[in-house]
Structure 1
Amino acid sequence: MAARGALLRYLRVNVNPTIQNRRERALPFTAILRRFSEEVRGSFLDKSEVTDRVLSVVKNFQKVDPSKVSPKSHFQNDLGLDSLDTVEVVMALEEEFGFEIPDTDADKIHSINLAVDFIASHPQAK
């Protein structure tokens, strides 16, 4: 057992993780995490902008009466859309915001508020 401890002390390597950037200068791992978190934090869309764009998409949907559309509108209860129509609205939102909404999340989007919350909190939304 003592020999194992001595051997491990001898073989132990000091690890300081770094990743090379384009200029071949080593960056400490913490700096990379900090840079990534700043990029992610700054990449979310403004909720009021998302709301305006979602309202516009839903108002332009052929089966919707634009006068009934509000930020609190439920697709089925308030706008009279069936499940297929809701899928089409979600697809139109994917096209508008430039990213794919996974089916598991798309199934949970039943109102404009839910769509706005999901899109505004998604880092890939453009």
Structure 2
Amino acid sequence: MDESTIFEKVKKIIVDQLRVDENLVTMDSNIQEDLGADSLDAVELIMALEEEFGIDVQDEEAENFKTVGDVVRYIEKRL
């Protein structure tokens, strides 16, 4: 699966979970500052990503996710 396909899936999950406009979701979007995710949102987001991509994300790895691009690159490496 290539980066753009992963990004589109991640973007859809973010839009659904955080209820933000899809135009706000870019590779450079900061998940907390730009998209307004709080700690509960972050946990729910990780769970949705794990289910969608069939991966397990460790808490210490998830703490490094600052931007949407961080998430996409992490998933790309895991698949």
Q: Same fold (TM over 0.5)?
A: yes
State the percentage of identical aligned residues: 35
More strand by share: 1
Distance 2:26 2:3 in 1: 15
In the alignment, which residue of structure 2 is the partner of 1:75?
A: 31
Distance 1:112 1:72 in 2: 6
Higher relative contact order (CA 8 A, sep 6+): 2
The code of the aligned residue for 1:52 comes to E
Q: Per-residue deviation at 1:116?
A: 0.3
Distance 2:9 2:16 in 1: 11
- TM-score scaled by structure 1? 0.57
In the alignment, which residue of structure 2 is the partner of 1:86?
A: 42
Distance 2:42 2:33 in 1: 12
Alignment of 1:18-29 (within 5 A): none
Distance 1:83 1:111 in 2: 14
Q: CA RMSD in A?
A: 1.3
Gaps of 5+ in 2: none
- TM-score scaled by structure 2? 0.86
Distance 1:111 1:71 in 2: 7
- The C-alpha deviation readout for 1:50-88, integer Å capped at 9, x for no partner, is 111111111111x33124222221111101111221111
In the alignment, which residue of structure 2 is the partner of 1:55?
A: 11
In the alignment, which residue of structure 1 is the partner of 2:53?
A: 97
Distance 1:64 1:114 in 2: 20
Structure showing greater Rg: 1
Equivalent position to 1:64, from 19, 31, 50: 19
* SS at structure 2 position matched to 1:60: helix
